[in-house]
A and B are shown apart, each in its own frame.
Chain A
Amino acid sequence: MIKLVGLEKTLGGQPVLQGVDLSIPVGKLTTIIGGSGSGKSVLLKHMIGLMQPDRGEVWVGNVEISRLSGTPLNDVRKQFAMLFQGAALFDSLSVFENVAFPLREKLRMKGPEVGRRVEEKLKEVGLTGMGHKFPAELSGGMRKRAGLARALVMEPEIILFDEPTTGLDPLMAKSIHDLIVTMHRRFGFTAVMVSHEIPEIFGISDYVAMLRKGKIALMATSAEFQRTTDPEIQEFISVGGTVALPGSLAG
């Protein structure tokens, strides 16, 4: 569904992406890992057209989006939702209004149906009764949950997660990972996640891709990835401690 072909991007005179070729499997949870500053978030933003590459192609289905703008790009974006690193909740709106926002703005939905869908999503992410609170009153984990509820409310086909657990304590990070996996299993969307959480991501991801020196060094299933003989990749993933094999949450 998402395919990146020969993607190149330079930011501030520095080459970040230097020929990325990547295909994201449909309906699976793919995690992109890599060193700090390797361009993971930049890569993610290309997938939804928030950035345009200097060279290369970004395919979403059979539409090449790298040179699109305006209405044609917005039509492609209707398939997407994104959970940003800080959740990107709208400060001036309550949690309820944040989650209701896409329903009111995109579907022009009104009345009790909005309330029903919002409350349903808040319940799924464990934020029942929090609808009246504003983002500034929430903890980091609660903000991420509210952001996830907002991402899920339109029932998208593809959800992008930009470091969803950054800044959270280990227990909260695990609960967010568990929530993402549960939602992924229930709704079957294609998930692309950027994360530093090694080895946890091996337990929840179907596929793992590593970005190194501006290119994809390896993309494989979680199990195959952990068995790689590439010494640099092995060093990178072993720094996180005991390597988790699949059979835990991802099944």
Chain B
Amino acid sequence: MTNVIEQLGRWAVMRVHEMGRMVLFLMSAFAWLVRPPFRFHQIMKQLHFVGYRSTFVVVLTAGFTGMVLALQGYYSLRKFGSEGLLGSAVALSMIRELGPVLAALMVTARAGSAMTAEIGIMRITEQIDALDTMAINPRQYLIAPKLVAGVLGVPLLVAIFDVVGIYGGSLVGVDLLGVSEGAYWSSVASAVEWKDVYGGILKSITFGLIVSWICCYKGFYTRQSAEGLGSATTEAVVLSSVLILVGDYILTSLLL
């Protein structure tokens, strides 16, 4: 019994220690972000990687999400004779929840895992140590640009996700299921309010930060082996995804 409690205690202490290290990691990266030299070229490069190169997968996901949402929504609303509200149902679902969450999950799977792998390989092959020996802070050179790219790139992707998703819903609802085009778009316009949009923006910024922070952290502190790198990548994706979902609930409860 004592052994179990001891192991539980050790596990808890290790988790608290790791949480502290994660927060210090984030604070350190932000502190270096505002100190010269300012790495604009690195930031643009990361923004291109996180944002532009995730566009295709985000558009694909958004399109099909909007389409299936319209399909499911139509048959539910038809029971109450409210097919005309399909546009608002799709738009509000997209803007408030599905856009930020699904776009962030897609970025996690694509760009986040790549960040973890890239930084992890740099750790294993001593490239990060090489930066240290050249008196170049790895947090400033490697991590801070990725954090900025996440915070700026994910909201832009969410905006694309929302637009494509609503159009996807229109494709199914209007063109396939026969909902009035005017009714669809007018219900979108009347239902969506500014607080829905900034709520979505706030979520997307938060999720962008979570993805880049967790994935960079896991890569930076990966164990020195192929198995360690594999574990780090898996843990980064899982932890980021869980924190996105938990963060979504917390933000939604605060915003409503």
The chain A residues found within 8 Å of chain B, CB to CB, are: 45, 48-50, 74-75, 77-78, 80-82, 84-86, 88-91, 101-102, 105-106, 108, 154
Contact = CB atoms under 8 A, between A and B. Distances in A.
Nearest to A80: B133
A80 B131 CA distance: 12
B121 A82 contact: no
B126 A86 contact: yes
B109 to A, nearest CB: 22
Contacts of A74: 135, 137
A62 B113 CA distance: 44
A66 to B, nearest CB: 15
A164 to B, nearest CB: 13
Contacts of B133: 48, 50, 77, 80-82
A85 B126 contact: yes
B134 interface: yes
B186 interface: no
B12 interface: no
Given A88-B125, A91-B121, A82 B135 contact: no
A77 B135 contact: yes
B14 to A, nearest CB: 15
A78 B135 CA distance: 7
A84 B129 contact: yes
B127 A90 contact: yes
Contacts of A45: 129
30 contacts: A48-B133, A49-B132, A50-B129, A50-B133, A74-B135, A77-B132, A77-B133, A77-B134, A77-B135, A78-B135, A80-B133, A81-B133, A82-B130, A82-B133, A84-B126, A85-B126, A86-B125, A86-B126, A88-B126, A88-B127, A88-B130, A89-B127, A90-B127, A90-B130, A91-B121, A91-B122, A91-B125, A105-B141, A106-B134, A154-B134
Contacts of A48: 133
3 closest Cβ pairs, A-B complex: A74-B135, A88-B130, A88-B126
B125 A102 contact: no
A101 B134 contact: yes
A102 B126 contact: no
B136 interface: yes
Contacts of A154: 134
A91 B127 CA distance: 9
B132 A102 contact: no
Nearest to B137: A74
B39 to A, nearest CB: 10
Contacts of B136: 105-106
Interface residues of B, number: 15
Nearest to A102: B134
A49 B125 CA distance: 18
Contacts of B37: 105, 108
A144 to B, nearest CB: 13
A77 B132 CA distance: 8
Given A88-B125, A88-B127, A90-B127, A106 B132 contact: no
Nearest to B124: A86
Nearest to A105: B136
Contacts of A89: 127
A51 to B, nearest CB: 10
Contacts of A85: 126
A88 B134 contact: no
Contacts of A101: 134
Contacts of A75: 135
A105 B132 contact: no
A108 B37 CA distance: 10
B134 A50 contact: no
A88 B129 contact: yes
Nearest to B130: A88
A143 B64 CA distance: 47
Interface in B97-152: 121-122, 125-127, 129-130, 132-137, 141
B232 to A, nearest CB: 17
A84 B130 contact: yes
A167 B141 CA distance: 30
Interface in B66-110: none
B130 A106 contact: no
Contacts of A91: 121-122, 125, 127
Given A77-B132, A91-B122, A106-B136, 13 more contacts: A50-B132, A50-B133, A77-B135, A82-B129, A85-B126, A86-B125, A88-B127, A88-B130, A90-B130, A91-B121, A91-B127, A101-B134, A105-B136
A77 B133 CA distance: 6
Contacts of B130: 82, 84, 88, 90
